[in-house]
Every structure is written in C-alpha cells, then in structure tokens.
Structure 1
C-alpha cells in the first residue's frame, strides 16, 4: 500500500533525480538531497538551475545552504485549515515532512468521527504536524513529547499559527521512554498513540535510542497507557530502512493480541509532476478500531 500526499496546494514536489528533489514551499523553491531519487535528472534542467535555496552535501558529513535568490528566513504554508512555520535548517530539513499529510488526514478523520472525547499521545513529535492535526480535529487533549527543546518550541508556534492556542495541548521536553514510564505510574491513559521514532537518537540527558533495540519494548510499554477503548495506534518511520511489515508485525504482536481492530502497513510518498513518478518517503503501520 502506498499512501499519497496529493492534497497540498502550498507545497509541490516539482521534480526528482540524481539523489535530489526540487520542491515548492509556498512561493519559494528549494533543492535538497534525497537518497531515494536514484534515477537521472531530466535533460532539460529548467527550474533546477535557479532555485531560491540549494542544500549541498559535504563529503565530510553534513552540508550547507546556498541561497541564490532573496527569501525570508522563515515563512508559513497552509495545509487545509492548518498553518506551519517553514525555515531551512542546518540539517537540510525545513521543519515539516509533507508526506505525512496522508497520515494527518487519516487521524483527523478518526478523531472527528469518534463521537467521544479522544486523548492523543504523540511521541518523537518533532515540530508537531500530527499534534496540530489532532488538535484541529477536536481531540480532547494532545500530549506532545520530544527530546529537543527547539523542536517543541517550534511545535508551539505551529499550534499558535493554526489558531489552536485554546486547545488542550501538553508540550513535554523529555526522553520518550522515561516519560511513558512516568505516565504509567501516574495512571494516565490515552485513546490514540502516534510515534515517529528515529533510527538513532539521544535524549536530553544523553539517553541513547536505537530503533532495532528499542521500538518493540516501547510499543509494549505504550500498551500500559492505552485506554480500554483505544481509537488508533500509528508507527511511522522514514530513516530505519525497515520493511513496513516489521512495524506491522510489532503491532500484531502487541495491539493485535489485546484489542479487536484492523492492522495494516505500507509506504507514504509524494507524487511528482514528472511522468507519474512517486517519491517514497517512509513507512507506516496502523492499528485502528473496527
């Protein structure tokens, strides 16, 4: 299954090739690396030659931005009724993964049609795309957890930009495993869980995370903070290199043993304007209430 992020107006994947992608973010065009785009560039480079910003990889690791045209340091783009702050970072990212809009649409539909209060736990929550989506859909409470203080601050800005400051959103800067353990001790319960774990990471106090060692135990741990009537559980990953069935199997061995529901997995991708090419951008696995 491939879920396509094809409902954007303020974002467009113009073209891909030679390990790069050309994107329009609002009024600005950016050229960035993407290891999945192993096919060649078109013969007519056209817009590739003169983007507003071009991120160059360094042979020593990392890279840098070359800005070829005047542009704002940061700006906003819309997805439906939501707004997000965009700015080029030193790690090539812009603060938003547009392919996740296919997951946002799904979780918003689940929450808005639940006909009951829904409490959501968003782990490895980054700049809060899913947090904004759940709050926008009317979730009773969203708990946003990320180890990076800067990313959590960015998520707060996105909530404010989207006019959702009156919604109940808890912003937590912490190691996700430690936080979930504390929630278990407090007896806290959630109806939906979202997680977007990195392949490798460090917590605010130097805690290490390796997805192959920690993902299954974390999902098992999260079972203890689920309500008796959960709505959904989403695992998303864009860096692990795992098959989607790895994440699906984890949900089958945890959620599937305790709750009645549907479990399935696949990839998320963005269609380009060029010859019906779809750029794969990661995997997902979902459990949802029947």
Structure 2
C-alpha cells in the first residue's frame, strides 16, 4: 500500500459507517464511500458539525446539506500545485487527493529525465497530473471528454502559475483522439490515464474496463516515442487487482520496451484511527534507459 501522506491542506479525519470525514483547507466535508464497510466508532461533534454533508439517495444520486454558507469554491495547495475545490452534485469535489502519491513520482521522473518530455494525460479530469507534469517542465496534452472538467483544469493551471505553460487542452473522446494522433504520427515520452469502469463513446461504442483496457493500452503503444519515459494507469474499478494491471502493462509495454513495472494499491492515512483507506490501484511501467 502506497500512501499520499504529504498533504497540508487535506486531511482524512475519520471514517466509518460508509462515510468519510475530510478537511479540505479549513472546510470539513462528510461524504459516502463504498469501501468503508467498517462501523463508525463514535459520531463525535466534528462528524455532526461538518460544514457539508452529502446524503446518498436510495433511488440513486444524492444531495448536499450545509451547516453554514460555503464559498462556491475554494483553493487548496499541494506543494506548488493549487486547485479549486467545489462540492458537486455527484458527491465529488474536483480532486482525488490520493493521487498526490503519483504526482510527486511523475514530477521526479520528468525532472530527472534530463531531456524534453511530452506527456499525454488521458481522462484527465481537472488536471492534477497535468499540473504536476507541467510544473516539472514537461509539455502536456490534456484530454477529457467533459468540457466543464477541461475548463476547471485550465483554471487550476492559472491558480498554479502555469497559465502560460505548454499545455494543450483537448475536449474530445479519448479513444478517437488517440486514433487521430496515430494517423498524425505524434508521439509522447509519457502517457497517463485514469480510465472509467464503464462508458459509451459518441457513436454508442461501449467501454467496459475489463474488456477494453488491454486493446486501448495496445493502441497507445504506437504513440509512445522511441525514447519513452513512463506509462501510468490508475483504476478505481472493483475487481481489477494490481496483479492484473501488472500483467496488462507487461504485455503491452514491457515485452516491447523492457523496463520495469510497479503496481499496487493507493491509500490515504486516517488521522483518528491510524488505519488506511484504500483508494484504488496504480500501475507504472518505466523505461530503464
């Protein structure tokens, strides 16, 4: 288990009873989490006085209630990276704090490469990995199908002093974009992706991670440069283990390029209990060159 434990502006305070209590800057939020199947030891005042509480509906979705009027959005930092946080209608806040573990690693890899690095960030959301890569000196192509998320990523870049950094923002279907990059002959030294468990393309194409991930990884091999640096895959899909991801990356990249693999779980430390909340898995292939 690898942990994102260097946060100052974020804290996982407590967990239990299907919920987590988190501090985002000076604002405390209470949200559901399906991984938390252990009981809540004590519903302390902090739990009851959370600034925002997301209530899941039995019919799907849910809604927020607030103890006080919160700003529409607010800012938190991770080292030089700055992010806007906002409670959304689907319980998220615009950031997955466990990914800080990967941000630190990719920044070290890019800085240590000693050469220009082009990064392709697929399913790029609000741009955590994009900002980390750009802050380390990489040229980045940020691709996400959701226009609102791409705009949010641009705003995060401005906050982080990266408004003039070489970042290309693309609002597009990720699979179609990769196909076009293949035809254009464009290549990247590093590829990052956080694919969904399930989705549909613009033409009704069905994406199911278990069936579609390996063919997609294979398609990405053709846009990896002759001097690749790394490929990073994140997954929150229940049932996909680190060993499975290791095997996929071995077949797609290591057999052709050599290098090394590192796959495992990512988690967040829980302050009150000393336990760890699992937050998905990661898989890294990196070149030895």
How many equivalent residue pairs? 288
Distance 1:121 1:240 in 2: 25
Report the TM-score when normalising by structure 1.
0.97
The residue aligned with 2:210 is 212
Assess if the C-alpha contact under 8 Å between 2:233 and 2:282 holds in 1.
Answer: yes
Q: Which residue among 258, 261, 264 is the counterpart of 2:262?
A: 264
Distance 1:204 1:85 in 2: 29
Structure 1 segment 152-231 matched on structure 2, within 5 A: 152-204=150-202, 206-231=204-229
Distance 2:203 2:145 in 1: 9
RMSD over aligned CA atoms reads: 1.1
The residue aligned with 2:55 is 56
Is 2:108 the counterpart of 1:109?
yes
Report the TM-score when normalising by structure 2.
0.97
Distance 2:45 2:62 in 1: 24
Structure 1 residue 213 displacement after superposition: 1.8
SS of the counterpart of 1:15?
A: strand
SS of the counterpart of 1:264?
A: strand
Distance 2:136 2:202 in 1: 30
The residue aligned with 1:239 is 237
Distance 2:83 2:27 in 1: 15
Distance 2:200 2:147 in 1: 13
Structure 1 residue 240 displacement after superposition: 4.0
The residue aligned with 1:27 is 26
The residue aligned with 2:84 is 85
The residue aligned with 1:68 is 67
Assess if the C-alpha contact under 8 Å between 1:175 and 1:207 holds in 2.
Answer: no
Distance 2:161 2:202 in 1: 29
Distance 1:119 1:48 in 2: 44
Assess if the C-alpha contact under 8 Å between 1:193 and 1:232 holds in 2.
Answer: yes
Distance 2:237 2:155 in 1: 26
Assess if the C-alpha contact under 8 Å between 2:191 and 2:230 holds in 1.
Answer: yes
Does 64-73 or 190-199 show the bigger shift?
A: 64-73
The residue aligned with 1:120 is 119
Question: 1:138-175: CA deviations, max 9, x gaps?
Answer: 10x10111111111111111111101011111111111
Question: 1:234-271: CA deviations, max 9, x gaps?
Answer: 11011343111111111000111111211121010000
Question: 1:94-147: CA deviations, max 9, x gaps?
Answer: 0000000000000000001110000000011011100010001110x1011111
Distance 1:127 1:161 in 2: 12
Structure 1 residue 225 displacement after superposition: 0.2
Structure 1 residue 44 displacement after superposition: 5.0
Structure 1 residue 25 displacement after superposition: 0.3
Assess if the C-alpha contact under 8 Å between 2:14 and 2:273 holds in 1.
Answer: no
Distance 1:80 1:50 in 2: 29
Assess if the C-alpha contact under 8 Å between 1:11 and 1:98 holds in 2.
Answer: yes
Distance 2:131 2:18 in 1: 31
The residue aligned with 1:16 is 15
Distance 1:204 1:7 in 2: 39
